Amino acid sequence: MIFDSYEAYRAANFTPKVCILGSGPAGTTIARKLGAAGIPVVVLEAGSREFSDESQDFYRGTTVGDFYFDLDITRLRFMGGSSNHWAGWCRVLDKQDFEPKAWVPDTGWPIRRTDIEPYLPEVRDILDLPAFRPDMPISDDIRWVQLIKSPAVRFAEKFGDELDKAKNIAVVLNTCVTELAGDGKRVTGARLWSNGQDAGSFSADYFIICTGGLENSRLLLWSNQRSNGGVVPNATALGRYWMEHPTFEGGNAILADYNAFEVDAVNEAFFSPTLAAMERLQIMNFGIRLIETPYPGVKSLIADLACTAPSMAEWMSYQLSQRLRCAAQLYVAWEQAPLASNQIELSKTDVDHAGAPRIELHWKKTELEHRTLLEGLRLFGTTLIEKNLGRVRIADWISNGQDYPTNDETAGHHHMGGTRMGTDISKSVVDANCKVHGMDNLYVGGSSVFCTSGQCNPTTTITALACRLGDHLSKVVTV
Amino acid sequence: MSFFIKKMSRRAIVQALIALPALSLFRKLPDADASHADPSRADPSHTGASRADPNEIVEVNGWILRRSDLA
Ligand SMILES: Cc1cc2nc3c(=O)[nH]c(=O)nc-3n(C[C@H](O)[C@H](O)[C@H](O)COP(=O)(O)OP(=O)(O)OC[C@H]3O[C@@H](n4cnc5c(N)ncnc54)[C@H](O)[C@@H]3O)c2cc1C
């Protein structure tokens, strides 16, 4: 059932066991799992069926530190969440992303990739994905990896009918949870905001927060402040260890044979380091995206190469004259080290229409990340030489240690961490089952539980974790 | 010296260093110092450039190249 207002929902006299906040990929997936298990579940969704400026305005905030996107353009606040404009690039975090990196503090998850692998067939159905292919090492240092460009499932569009017909799922639109109340053991209720005003308190046996990788932290920080620590009793790590995938054009490659790698429909291929290479160089994971360079770009590369390696420049000119593809731009996205100082805080001066403080995001890239970018491109360049595949040119700003450009991709719109998973309560917020430490009935869904970011887009892993949490709750919740 | 280095970009320094062996002044220089260390290099016609391993990987102007790729 889908209700367009809280009043309409109230009139239906539906009694849920579980209350999910947010109808993005995480919330929708968990609701479908619980619904299928016969558990009555309500999904409270702040937005409506369509985008509106009024709803989106709740997402405004500020960033302190490195340049980042405006917080109200890097996500969407209506039914289906940011799946309404995601690009659909899919890959599961690597096995090694779950394991601790001895050379980077605070890495490693309390679960392993094998814990989510059983859910991958389900994830493929949900996200309309073909089979995943294993990575292919092209040298001791570099893997040729698969990043599936999926049809970018819009969750509200794909599952809207199913949710509407489901008898034990109620999706309530235009209903925002402004804060949770708790007594340090249980969430006792949720404060609602609907139709531009306070709509009273809401209760259910279990609450699952799936409001996105920025908003999950904000809601918990605000709720905890209002209830004197009664919602997240161990809050040292709350809002902290926030991560993105910084993404920048890192240079170019000339390729002896562009067809050496099976490129996708838009002539792109992806490469990542092996664990051994990361360990040897003490760097983070990264993904190099190879994109065909447009004609003018090839010409300036030839000019650049002419005085350094003239015969190679000559070869390129010939390729170009034959209209053969021979050059690529290299975009690099990389894993950020989890840092407590990269964090979501509540603004002290700015509140939204419902009176909740807006986000102040503190985000800075570190020296380790610059090294990951530089050494990553060097690894790739060396591999291309050793395998007679081509040559790499690293962008000047990287070699010269200059500032990150502000006119580049910047990041992936991937909001990770803030309520990270772990066993150490001083460094994590949820346990291996995504349950908030110390709370009996509060869970978190989405990439805010990520301990590390890996290098790939998060939604495939978010969906797998949501399937796992749905299964877990199906066993825990009694009807 | 340090004043000039500070004023020059890393790229410009690297370019200047690459240009050095191309100057005839440098090309004609016998490798006197090296001959002390390694008798097989005593031949005065040997220059630094011709001795280098052509397969060595070098970074020039941001390009990652084999030495044999260089001009
Ligand atoms: C431009 C762009 C491109 C992207 N491309 C990719 C990609 O190619 N691959 C990939 O893996 N990921 C991509 N992403 C990221 C992807 O969209 C997110 O990872 C994913 O949507 C997160 O799902 P979620 O359910 O956790 O949160 P969201 O999708 O953010 O959903 C949260 C939901 O909660 C609702 N909500 C918020 N606050 C409240 C509240 N207080 N009460 C009730 N409801 C609330 C929101 O309205 C929203 O519907 C992209 C993102 C953007 C912005």
Residue A212 Cα to ligand 1 middle (Å): 5
pLDDT score recorded for residue A267:
78
Residue contact A392–B59, C-beta within 8 A: no
Model confidence at A31, pLDDT cuts 50, 70, 90, reads very high
Model confidence at B15: pLDDT above 70? no
Q: Name the residue among A193, A172, A168, A219 with its Cα closest to residue A33.
A: A168
pLDDT score recorded for residue B16:
52
Question: In terms of C-beta density within 10 A (0-12 exposed, 13-18 middle, 19 or more buried), how is residue A133 classed?
Answer: exposed
Residue A211 Cα to ligand 1 middle (Å): 8
Model confidence at B54: pLDDT above 70? yes
Model confidence at A43: pLDDT above 50? yes
pLDDT score recorded for residue B28:
35
- The least confident of A15-19, A365-369, B21-25 is B21-25
Q: pLDDT tens across A196-227, in order?
A: 999 999 999 999 999 999 999 999 999 999 99
pLDDT score recorded for residue A285:
98
Query: Nearest-CA distance from A312 to chain B in Å?
Result: 7
Model confidence at A136: pLDDT above 80? yes
Task: Give the count of domains, chain B.
Answer: 1
Query: Rounded to 10 degrees, what is the CA torsion of A178, A183, A187, A190?
Result: -30
pLDDT score recorded for residue B44:
36
Q: Which chain A residue lies closest to B68 (C-alpha atoms)?
A: A309
Residue A37 Cα to ligand 1 middle (Å): 25
Phi/psi of residue A402, nearest 5 degrees: -80, 175
Domain that holds residue A76: 2-244+338-366+409-476
Measured from the Cβ of residue A303, the count of other Cβ atoms closer than 10 Å reads 10
Query: Nearest-CA distance from B58 to chain A in Å?
Result: 9
Is the pLDDT higher at B30 or at A313?
A313
Residue A25 Cα to ligand 1 middle (Å): 7
pLDDT score recorded for residue B20:
46
Query: Nearest-CA distance from B39 to chain A in Å?
Result: 32
pLDDT score recorded for residue A232:
98
Residue contact B62–A399, C-beta within 8 A: yes
For A170-194, what is the mean pLDDT? 98
Q: Answer yes or no: is A322 within a domain.
A: no
Task: Give the count of domains, chain A.
Answer: 1
Question: What is the CATH classification number for the domain harbouring A27?
Answer: 3.50.50.60
Residue contact A385–B10, C-beta within 8 A: no
CA A474 to chain centre: 25
- Residue to substitute from B58, B63, B69, interface A, most A β-carbons within 10 A: B63
For B5-23, what is the mean pLDDT? 50
Q: Which chain A residue lies closest to B60 (C-alpha atoms)?
A: A308
From CA B5, how far away is CA A403, in angstroms rounded? 20
Mean of the per-residue pLDDT values of chain B: 56
Kindly report the pTM of this predicted structure: 0.91
pLDDT score recorded for residue B47:
42
From CA A407, how far away is CA A410, in angstroms rounded? 8
3 state SS of A431: coil
Q: Answer yes or no: is A377 within a domain.
A: no
Q: Answer yes or no: is A327 within a domain.
A: no
Kindly list the residues from chain B whose CB atom is less than 8 angstroms away from the CB atom of residue A311.
Answer: 69
> E strands, B1-71, where?
57-60, 63-66
3 state SS of A331: strand
Beta bridge partner(s), residue A206: A18
Interface contacts (A, B; CB < 8 Å): 58
pLDDT score recorded for residue A296:
81
CA-to-CA dists, residue A225 to A87, A218, A229, A356, angstroms:
36, 11, 6, 11
Residue contact B65–A309, C-beta within 8 A: yes
- The least confident of A177-181, A328-332, A436-440, B21-25 is B21-25
Kindly list the residues from chain A whose CB atom is less than 8 angstroms away from the CB atom of residue B64.
Answer: 377-378, 381-382, 384-385, 391-394
DSSP-assigned states of every residue in A179-217: EEEE-SSSEEEEEEEETTEEEEEE--SEEEE-S-TTHHH
Residue contact B62–A311, C-beta within 8 A: no
Residue A155 Cα to ligand 1 middle (Å): 10
Q: pLDDT tens across A368-399, in order?
A: 999 999 999 999 999 999 998 899 999 999 99
For A44-69, what is the mean pLDDT? 97
Model confidence at A284, pLDDT cuts 50, 70, 90, reads very high
Residue contact B69–A396, C-beta within 8 A: no
- Residue to substitute from A302, A308, A330, interface B, most B β-carbons within 10 A: A308
pLDDT score recorded for residue A30:
98
Domain that holds residue B61: 2-70
pLDDT score recorded for residue B7:
52
- The least confident of A28-42, A342-356, B37-51, B57-71 is B37-51
Q: Answer yes or no: is A353 within a domain.
A: yes
Model confidence at B33, pLDDT cuts 50, 70, 90, reads very low
Atom 27 of ligand 1, nearest CA residue: A212
For A420-438, what is the mean pLDDT? 98
Residue contact B10–A378, C-beta within 8 A: no
Q: Answer yes or no: is A419 within a domain.
A: yes
